Amino acid sequence: MTIEPAQRRAEDVRSVKPYLFSRSPVRTFLRRSASIVALVSIDIAGLVLGLYLALALRAFVFDPKPVLWGLLWDQETNWLAFLILGTIAEVISAAYLTTLIFTGSYLAAQLRRRRRLANALTTGIAALFLGFAAKLATASLS
């Protein structure tokens, strides 16, 4: 015996688990967090390995004595500033690229909805490039 849609018993809304506490969003958040941690770890490990290899190459080229692999970190104290600068550059780059990606996604969604605006912007950019080309063509080399 099948139950018709009209005969289904109405459930209480309060008995359903909220979407935020359901298994899917939590699992997605944990997976993305683990991915971010892995990528940051790979970036920092690459930066440290690159710095260590640069110190080893410098010691190999400029020092006549054999390279003491364990003492490379002890010899040089200026590498910390470079490591901090590299880490700051990585963070700024990641924030900049994230902003570009989300802004581009938002603009693409807006332009998909508004075809006239997309066509007007395309025409305006084409006119800008044509004007720049004309300016370059008429510029004199002096």
Question: Which residues does 87 contact at the CB level (< 8 Å), separation at least 6?
Answer: 44, 47
Does 12 map to a domain? no
**Torsions phi, psi of 112, nearest 5?**
-70, -35
Does 92 map to a domain? yes
Does 124 map to a domain? no
Domain span holding position 103? 18-112
Does 55 map to a domain? yes
What are the Cα distances from residue 54, in Å, to 6, 43, 59, 73, 79?
A: 74, 16, 9, 11, 10
Does 3 map to a domain? no
Does 84 map to a domain? yes
| Residuewise pLDDT in 10s, the chain (142 residues) | 555 555 555 566 666 666 666 667 778 888 889 998 998 889 888 888 887 788 778 777 887 776 666 666 665 666 677 777 888 888 899 899 999 999 999 988 988 999 998 999 999 999 999 999 999 888 876 5
Does 136 map to a domain? no
Please give the tally of structural domains in the chain.
1
Residue 86 · residue 47 · CB < 8 Å: yes
Does 9 map to a domain? no
- State the pTM of this model: 0.41
pLDDT value for 75: 56
